[in-house]
Structure 1
């Protein structure tokens, strides 16, 4: 009987600990959203030095450049007249080491003659629709991590943990952040070799972010975060192929589902597991499945720690980088993008560190994410190999898609410090159109595997 009582007491105690760890924030804490904090949980005030300004709403409709005329247009730069305040190079990088990530410092070491970081005036340009702000405030007192931290409950159409208590909560904010409802875009990706050679893989991409469909409920969500479709246009040997992905929210409970259409065979096949460290073919082995979007998928192979906040120079407002006036031949230089076209600003970031669990398998033993506090998007990610050595550095060159609005990447770049190669994803400079958020959300059957064969062409 004594053993039974002790066991019951232990279980009860563990339940209380688990419950408190997974509990939503209080109403008093949630009341800070939109007051001391921005509606998504960032510090509204600027920093003491005055180098980071206060958030005053970001780019709103009245601040959209007049040159922006219609959806799908390449985005005119609202800060086109600005010049760098200074430039960080290999020679002066140590002077700014406190505001740089280990990966950025490693880039200076790897490419001392060519890698530079032009530092511009900081603009807290992030903005989101009011409905996202409202949903976030409502979810803040309800959202919880599911058992094991492999999903979120109590939140739809919202940042679930605007005041995060641990690394998993902050990570989920990144994975479910607002990126519109339905988007269509034309884009290319390249693996740039040591000498600078590359071959474009071009496609039309579509995504339906079911989590943010207006009026969506948790029951109707059915564990789907978003749908993704891609139709390959070039090179000729791949043209006509298509891929469909159903991205699940809890991928331990239900792994993501994927189908591929082969134009030569005219067949749709269920794709093998595309998760964790599965190498991405079009990236020439330079990107893993869970590198996509800086981090995605099940978080269960890592222990996630919320290190805290830092002030870091991160890629921000990179409108020049995605301009149609820039040719790929000028942008894609050996080792890294043409540094003269990039823009970095000082922003506060949440630092989230994932350490591989004992007994778990992954090519990265550790990964550190630097999340923009205003948008929750990861701007820089440092990845370490099995020996604990820094191996890869990923950067998301953020912009505000001000017609939506949201802050999201204009271009993702994945650097391999050991191979001295990199992969760039999202290139659209030479496309006739960019990203279109204005199309109506398709019916759910549009994202069924049966639609692939009808739409895939040669």
Structure 2
């Protein structure tokens, strides 16, 4: 009996792998890209009542550096209405569980809802590569990609892991430098500021020299961060090489600590290990809303849904907003965020038996136009919502991409929250940088620390 049960379990596991492999779509399905679908897979048309408009891409414009998010038309708009604790039931079907928790917990929390705009566009090369990927790119399990090049790998997703990969390896420019300012905000509104400068190169999603992902060979990101303040953390470097695959094959990382004065391999730059300098308020796999390996979870597409998400967040992401204006006790100053109704892919991740993570279940809300994760509900082992991640999406027509500025993690157990990816009082993304071939190496970092 035991052997029969084991055989059934093994057969079921093989069936699951088979279902998750070969995720490429037929040419007939792919032909919808650029027609009924946008070139990267969103529905071109608006919704029935017009509250979500048709896709109207914004043409590329603006310099690649020094460009804070702005749009004169959008920035001058007034809210259509405001969601509060008193009227949240009226909008419950279009709210994430995290927003419901914030609204029901804090009388001072509100969501100003504005007209929706769908402006995000991508370089023509990325659009063309996405169409090719649709019929060629495959995924085995959750982390092994094959036959993918430059564009979104899965514009017409079939499995839960695929929208996450669209987010992880999307076009963000050839290489960038950005300020990533972080704040741990206490329940009384006091906060501690950490300043980080990040250099990132994107070998996969490159137009100039794309590095294809094939099975066993798919480095898609090279990352180097250095802390510049406060003094107790200044001089800390984190170097990361990300590629497809699981475990050590999926990520190689190094850490330089000023106390040790040497760079060393850092196997714990993964999953629910706390990110350096965040005092446990952000896990490594919460950076950029989600990154790192997917192997600890099973992934499923719950469906597509209309949800209020932070969008065209120029006010809170621009240089006219200071950090002291952003921070309030318990939650952000909710006069600043802009919420719009958008269609999102809802993807749920559930912890695999035999693995471990602080979050038993994670529910992701992924914008259909940009494949950017806007919201994440994080549940603990009691199936209670434990944390909530909110990414304020901005359109960047200078680079032709979208990103989240800032990102916020609400900790419901303590009343604290964590702000990251803020640049308001420094500089926005610089997309003009060019890094030497050996820049993202441990030897290069060691030399930087001895200058």
Partner in structure 2 of residue 218 of structure 1: 212
Asked if residue 424 in structure 1 is aligned to residue 424 in structure 2, the reply is no
Match of 2:4 in 1: none
Which segments of structure 1 move beyond 6 Å, counting only runs of 4 or more?
Answer: none
* Aligned twin of 2:3: none
What does residue 296 of structure 2 align with? Answer: 301
TM-score, normalised to structure 1, is 0.91
Distance 2:16 2:113 in 1: 48
SS of residue matched to 1:228: strand
Does the Cα contact within 8 Å between 1:380 and 1:395 map onto a contact in 2? yes
SS state of the match for residue 197, structure 2? strand
- Give the structure 2 partner of residue 325 of structure 1: 320
Q: Does residue 60 of structure 1 match 2:55?
A: no
**Deviations for 1:105-153, whole angstroms, at most 9, x for unmatched residues?**
00111212x211110100002111111100000110011103x221211
1:434 equivalent in structure 2: 428
Classify the secondary structure of the residue corresponding to 1:134: helix
How far apart, in 1, do the equivalents of 2:89 and 2:148 lie?
43
Equivalent of residue 389 in structure 1, options 384, 390, 395: 384
Secondary structure class of the residue paired with 2:280? coil
- The verdict on how the C-alpha distance between 1:339 and 1:34 changes in structure 2, with shifts beyond 3 A counting, is same
Return the alpha-carbon distance in structure 2 between the equivalents of residues 211 and 373 of structure 1. 21
| Alpha-carbon distance in structure 1 between the residues aligned to 2:220 and 2:138 | 16
Task: Report if the CA contact (8 A) 1:150-1:252 is conserved.
Answer: no
1:364-393 deviations in whole A, cap 9, x for unaligned?
110000000011111000000010001111
Is this contact kept in 1: 2:121–2:400, CA < 8 A?
Answer: yes
Q: Which residue of 1 aligns with 2:151?
A: 158
Give the equivalent residue in structure 2 for 1:101: 96
Give the equivalent residue in structure 1 for 2:178: 185
Change (3 A) 1:332 1:16: closer
Q: Over aligned residues, Cα RMSD in angstroms? A: 2.2
Question: Cα–Cα, structure 1 residues 241 and 15, in superposed 2: closer, same or farther, change >3 Å?
Answer: closer
**What is the match of residue 26 of structure 1?**
26
Q: Deviations over 1:339-366 (max 9, x none)?
A: 0010000000000011111222111110
**Corresponding residue for residue 127 of structure 1:** 121
After superposition, the Cα gap between the structure-2 partners of 1:225 and 1:108, relative to the gap in structure 1 and judged at 3 Å, is: same
Counterpart Cα distance in 2 of 1:92 and 1:276: 37
The answer to whether the 8 Å contact 2:170/2:205 transfers is: no
Q: Which of 432, 437, 450 lines up with 2:443 in the alignment?
A: 450
Match of 2:190 among 194, 197, 221: 197
Aligned match of 2:371: 376
**Which position in structure 2 is the counterpart of 1:4?**
none
Return 5+ residue gaps in structure 2 as ranges: 1-6
Task: Specify whether residues 142 and 253 from structure 1 end up closer, same or farther in structure 2 by C-alpha distance, changes over 3 A only.
Answer: farther
Once residues 104 and 20 of structure 2 are traced to their aligned partners in structure 1, the CA distance between those partners, rounded to angstroms, is 44
Structure 2 CA distance for aligned equivalents of residues 54 and 18 of structure 1: 36
Instruction: Compare 41-50 and 73-82 and name the one that shifted more.
Output: 73-82
Decide which moves more: 149-158 or 341-350: 149-158
How far does residue 174 in structure 1 lie from its aligned partner after superposition? 1.8
DSSP 3-state at the match of 1:211 = coil
Cα distance in 2 between the residues matched to 1:17 and 1:188:
40
Tell me the alpha carbon deviations over residues 135-177 of structure 1, each in whole angstroms, 9 at most, x when there is no partner. Answer: 000110011103x221211112111111111212222212222
Consecutive unaligned residues of structure 1, counting only runs of 5 or more, are 1-6
Aligned-pair CA distance for 1:291: 1.4
Instruction: Tell me whether 346-355 or 250-259 shows the greater mean CA deviation.
Output: 250-259
Distance 1:324-1:25 versus aligned 2 partners, 3 A rule: same
Residues 1:310 and 2:305 are matched in the alignment: yes
User: Is 1:352 equivalent to 2:347 in the alignment?
Assistant: yes
Q: How far is 1:77 from its partner? A: 3.3
CA 1:69 to 1:38, structure 2 compared with 1: closer, same or farther past 3 Å?
Answer: closer
